[in-house]
């Protein structure tokens, strides 16, 4: 993978954050690895976030027909597109299921048991012993139960609201049982 300048990442970050706010549909030329050719992805960005100094954009891919996470440093080109029908379809799909990003500590893909309706695993670039799980589910209560009963050590990265709810619940449990 070629070197990506800080200035280019800053421009991409600013562009993508504005597209998230505006609900703008984009086409992204994306190279997931140096061994594979780049691909064109039609994408509705939702949120940009940082994980171990890597910037990611979370959104819905029209090509995969599901939520996806893309690393900013692997985006080769970004272009806005106008397609009102596709935009409406992606926005309606976005409302049906929430996306949660959880860092699973000391967990391999072989050990992983699905937590949601549609899970996508990505190795954590900051630590080879961790995974990032992008979980789509419409049942937040069940996700909390599965996380607590799974035995995984985990950190909730997104959304912040879910992280705060889990902290309140766990602090309440600690006060009751300790």
Mean pLDDT of the chain: 83
Helix or strand (DSSP H, E) at 66: strand 66-71
Contact 120, 175 (CB under 8 A): no
Instruction: Look at residue 133 and give its three-state secondary structure.
Output: strand
β-strand partners of 54? 51
In a domain, 88, yes or no: yes
| 72 shares its domain with 102 | no
Read off the pTM: 0.63
| 128 shares its domain with 165 | yes
| 47 shares its domain with 62 | yes
Question: Residue 49 sits in a domain of what CATH number?
Answer: 2.30.30.100
- How many domains does one find in the chain? 2
Per-residue pLDDT for 143 more than 70?
yes
Question: Residue 171 sits in a domain of what CATH number?
Answer: 3.30.70
In a domain, 1, yes or no: no
Q: What is the mean pLDDT of residues 2-17?
A: 84
| 69 shares its domain with 131 | no
| 89 shares its domain with 22 | yes
| 11 shares its domain with 43 | yes
Confidence of residue 97 (pLDDT cuts 50, 70, 90): low
Print the domain residue range for 17.
Answer: 6-95
């Amino acid at each position: 993978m070629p070197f990506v300048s800080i200035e280019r990442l800053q421009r991409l970050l600013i562009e993508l954050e504005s597209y998230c706010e505006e609900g703008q549909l984009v086409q992204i030329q994306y190279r997931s690895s140096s061994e594979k050719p780049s691909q064109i992805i039609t994408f509705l960005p939702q949120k940009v976030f940082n994980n171990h100094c890597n910037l990611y954009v979370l959104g819905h891919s029209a090509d995969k027909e599901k939520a996806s996470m893309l690393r900013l440093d692997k985006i080769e080109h970004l272009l806005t597109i106008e397609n009102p029908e596709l935009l409406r379809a992606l926005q309606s799909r976005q409302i049906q299921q929430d996306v949660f990003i959880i860092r699973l500590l000391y967990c391999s893909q072989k050990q992983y048991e699905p937590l949601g309706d549609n899970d996508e695993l990505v190795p954590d670039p900051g630590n080879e012993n961790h995974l990032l799980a992008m979980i789509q589910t419409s049942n937040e209560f069940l996700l909390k139960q599965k996380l607590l009963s799974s035995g995984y050590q985990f950190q909730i990265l997104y959304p912040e609201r879910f992280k705060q709810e889990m902290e309140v619940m766990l602090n309440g449990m600690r006060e009751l049982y300790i």
